[in-house]
Amino acid sequence: MAFKNVNLEPFDLTSNAVVIEDGLIIAVGTWPDLEPLVDSQTKIIDGSGCTMIPGIDDSHLHGYMVGRRLSGVDVSPESCPDLRSVNESLRAYAKTHDGWIRGFGWVSGGFPGAGPDSTPSASDLASSDVKQPIILTDFSGHQAWCNAEAMALAGITADTENPPGGVIVRDAQGLPTGLLLEAAVQMVTKIMPPPSEREIRQSLLTARDLLLADGITSFTEPGLGPGAASLDDGSASLAVLEGYRRLASEGELNLRVNAMLLFGGLGGTTLDNVIDGLENSGPPEKADPRKLVTVNQLKVFADGIPRSRTAWMSEPYDTCDHGHLTVDGDSDEARVATLQNIMGHAAAKGWQLGIHATGDETVSAILGGAERANFDNSLRHYIIHGDIVKPSDFQRLGEAGVGLNVQPGIRWMVGRNVERVLGQERASRRLQLRQIKTAGVSLSLSSDAPVTKVDWRHIYATATRRNYREDPALDDGQALTPLEAMTALTATPAFQAHSELWRGAILPGKIADLVLLDQRVDWNESVVAGISARTRAVFLGGKLVFGGVA
């Protein structure tokens, strides 16, 4: 197979042709130079001047939950802008679904609820007249809004204590309102029936189709295992990993999946959780172009999120507290020791760590552990999110070889809504992309879908512009260039996944994971041009897996 008349910007400013043999790229250059390499048996595809890019690697994307959420009730602001529409959607869904009702996507502050600070509560769902248990998780998957029936089945009463790393929101009388934060979510999800093998398979196939249509050929599935009970609807168990493997063995997956194991969840993770989990998982696997599913990463939730005031911050929140680490321990010192012991054990066993950290004090604790353990940089540990980082820690990240995997789309979406929690100045320092690059830190961009939508163009746009959804004119000077943004969506994620030697770029010797767009993108003219391009065809190892070409 050969492509001619394709545009390879922003990666390559001079070449316009690519030749593929046995799934590998064997030559890149101009068509007059490469034409002698093809013969009458070669399929030659004229790209008509359209842009070709390496397959996108969304390096932090909950693939299973992308599909899973679509089988529940959509309570996002786009579908349900107010309480009335939420209850109407629940009522309509209940007419055709028995048992538990799952919903996803509401946003804090989207409408006033009856709970403290106008948060949603169980009483807000009473007008739906639905008597089935209801659990509605917010867009991030870190908060759950439940009705009275769900709370009763979970046995959550005024006497129920907050679990480690979690909060049961209560009213002025101390009664649970129905809103659960972080690790408290699993108090409900653990009593829900697990999805069937058929349901898991359908969720994975739905996600596959959405990802390929967006030009995504690889992604990191961040957190499968018992710890997932505290995230979203709690169903991302190890059965999902088996579902991925089953699809791969049947030739139906058509995606490269780097799966992370999760044993402790959003709160109270102990060293024993990790020791036992890794002992039962076997050794970490090596990335291999012949395998579509690889398991060699461990995810650890070190803290929560700023909106819930559960990220550990060096400066106080509006409530005058600082939050703290969410791993096991009854003091900051004990929790830091737990986190650093987990890091040391996993690294000693050869596992790459992806650590959820949004608070700057959490980032400092991770760096302290990395420095004291003198980690082998070849494992390529990285911090997930890294919303707030102390200026002095950017250089430490680079020196310790700890990467950052960030989601500019979340920053764009949350916008100024977090200012009341963090303060305007600190909120403005979220995801300092230019400072990260200047410090020489390995930077990957991702969506965290379904927290944000499956759309690499949106990630690109929010990285190359520094505005908010409600403030499109904002620019703080921290934007990436087009080449930097696209590299952070392709080559750097391949590096994160220990696969950079064979994928992540359009170069001779790399595997032919390629995306042909339907137009030429002028990356320097406007980010809007990047967003308007759509996927014409996707190739995985030279095999057409989406779309078509003449």
pLDDT tens profile 174-229: 999 999 998 899 999 999 999 999 999 999 999 999 999 999 999 999 999 999 98
8-state DSSP, 393:
H
Q: How many domains does the chain have?
A: 3
- Rounded Cα–Cα distance for residues 151 and 140 (Å): 21
Looking at the chain, the whole-number percentage of residues with pLDDT higher than 70 is 98
pLDDT above 90 (res 531): no
pLDDT on residue 527: 66
List the structure tokens of 216: 């995504």
Residues 65-122: pLDDT tens digits?
999 999 999 999 999 999 999 999 999 999 999 999 999 999 888 889 999 999 999 9
Domain co-membership, 36 together with 87:
no
Confidence of residue 546 (pLDDT cuts 50, 70, 90): very high
Residues 159 and 294 grouped into a single domain: no
Round to whole Å and give the CA distance between 452 and 467. Answer: 16
- At residue 377, the pLDDT reads 74
The answer to whether 24 and 474 have CB atoms below 8 angstroms apart is: no
Mean per-residue pLDDT for 8-23? 97
Last residue of a domain, one of 464, 489, 514: 489
Contacts of 472 (CB under 8 A, 6+ apart): none
- Are residue 365 and residue 445 in the same domain, yes or no? yes
**Does position 41 have pLDDT exceeding 70, yes or no?**
yes
Assess whether 516 and 433 both reside in one domain.
Answer: no
In a domain, 170, yes or no: yes
**Residue 161 CA neighbour count, 13 Å, CB half:** 3
Q: Across residues 521-529, what is the average pLDDT?
A: 75
- The percent of residues in the chain predicted with pLDDT above 90, rounded, is 91
Residue 542 and residue 472 share a domain: no
- Within this chain, do residues 368 and 413 fall inside the same structural domain, yes or no? yes
What is the structure's pLDDT at 443? 98
Q: Is 218 within the bounds of a domain?
A: no
Q: Is residue 196 part of a domain?
A: no
Task: Mark whether 459 and 325 lie in a shared domain.
Answer: yes
Summary count for the chain: helices (H), strands (E): 19, 22
The yes-or-no verdict on residue 515 having pLDDT over 90 is yes
Percentages helix, strand, coil for the chain (3-state, rounded to 5) are 35, 20, 45
Q: Are residues 420 and 515 in the same domain?
A: no
Domain edge (last residue) among 139, 164, 189: 189
Per-residue confidence band for 35, with pLDDT thresholds at 50, 70 and 90: very high
pLDDT for res 331: 96
Q: Roughly how many angstroms between the first and final C-alpha of the chain, as a whole number?
A: 12
Instruction: Please report, to the nearest 10 degrees, the dihedral formed by the alpha carbons of residues 403, 407, 408, 411 taken in order.
Output: -120
Going by C-alpha positions, the residue among 399, 526, 362, 395 that lies closest to residue 457 is: 526
Q: Is residue 411 part of a domain?
A: yes
Domain interval for residue 475: 223-231+259-489
What pLDDT, on a 0 to 100 scale, did the predictor assign at position 108? 84
Helices 332-348 and 271-279 sit at what angle, rounded to 10 degrees? 20
Question: Looking at the structure, do residues 354 and 301 belong to the same domain, yes or no?
Answer: yes
Q: Check the CA dihedral 434-436-442-446 and report its sign.
A: negative
One-letter-per-residue 3-state SS of 74-125:
ECCCCCCCCHHHHHHHHHHHHCCCCCCEEEEEECCCCCCCCCHHHCCCHHHH
**For the domain that residue 146 is a member of, what is the CATH number?**
3.10.310.70
Across the range 6-31, mean pLDDT stands at: 98
Handedness of CA 185, 186, 187, 188 (dihedral sign): positive
**What is the C-alpha separation between 527 and 531, in angstroms, rounded?**
7
Same domain, 98 and 134: yes
Is 298 in contact with 351 (CB distance < 8 Å)?
yes
**CB neighbours of residue 249 within 10 Å:** 11
Per-residue pLDDT for 461 more than 90?
yes
- CATH code where residue 32 lies: 2.30.40.10
Kindly state whether residue 205 falls inside one of the protein's structural domains: no
Cα–Cα dist 386/381, whole Å? 13
Structure tokens at 21: 């043999």
Q: What is the Cα 443 distance to its own chain's centre? A: 14
Q: Residue 388 has what pLDDT?
A: 97
Average pLDDT over residues 52-68: 97
Report helix angle 332-348 to 360-373, nearest 10: 50
pLDDT classification of 343: cutoffs 50, 70, 90:
very high
In a domain, 147, yes or no: yes
Is the pLDDT confidence value at 528 over 70?
Answer: no
Calculate the average pLDDT of the chain. 95
Q: Which of 489, 519, 536 delimits the end of a domain? A: 489
CATH code, 403: 3.20.20.140
pLDDT of residue 164: 86
**pTM (whole model) above 0.85:** yes
Asked if residue 514 and residue 393 are part of one domain, the reply reads no
Q: What does the alpha-carbon distance between residue 535 and residue 388 come to, in Å, rounded to a whole number?
A: 34
Q: Note the pLDDT tens digit of each residue in 256-308.
A: 999 999 998 888 899 999 999 999 999 999 999 999 999 999 999 999 999 88
Residue 200 lies in a domain: no
In a domain, 208, yes or no: no
pLDDT at 526 over 90: no
363 & 483 share domain: yes
User: What is the spatial distance between Cα 206 and Cα 488, in angstroms, rounded to a whole number?
Assistant: 26
**Residue 529 binned pLDDT confidence (cut-offs 50, 70, 90):** low
- Which SS3 state, helix, strand or coil, does residue 223 take? strand
